Amino acid sequence: MVDLASLVVDVPDFPRPGVVFKDVTPLLASAEGLAAAVDAMVASVPGGVDVVVGLEARGFLFGPPVALALGVGFVPVRKPGKLPRESVEVSYALEYGEETLALHVDAVGPGDRVLVVDDVLATGGTAVAAAGLVRRLGAEVVGVSVLLELTFLPGRALLAEHGLDRVDAVLTSDA
């Protein structure tokens, strides 16, 4: 059995001083590690998912294999100007500014049951924004699945404030 936590490397002072970046690229480079991570993410998914939504950019690395394992499609949530057809957008606050996300208007629809996938849950703003886009198009967010949750940050609490109570993390970090 592979130790997934050992495949996530702390990078101090990246992308700016005082931040410890959680680098998942060693996990991605390990076939055994990647397979174990995807299997663990899939194992916690609630039943009846119709589509997986992955968040730019590293949600694109875990979303497609999770979708394939579930036998459903994958939809990317992108930064503005990256989607070629009509899309809906939402802007949200970050600790250091503002970000905008976009989703094709026909990517999900009424009655669709959506799983939101990303690599790391930190403050939760990106997942909440993506869930808002999904809901705006009439779909239901049935859960949020991440590889790593930073438990020292308020991400899970923010998701709960927005009705996202089903949050599953393969790994947690308190530092």
58 flagged as catalytic: yes
Is residue 96 within 8 Å of 122, Cβ to Cβ? no
95 flagged as catalytic: yes
Which one of the listed residues 16, 86, 95, 98 is annotated catalytic?
95
Question: E-strand spans in the chain?
Answer: 9-12, 20-23, 51-55, 73-77, 87-94, 97-104, 113-121, 140-150, 167-173
Which one of the listed residues 32, 58, 78, 113 is annotated catalytic?
58
Residues noted as catalytic: 58, 95
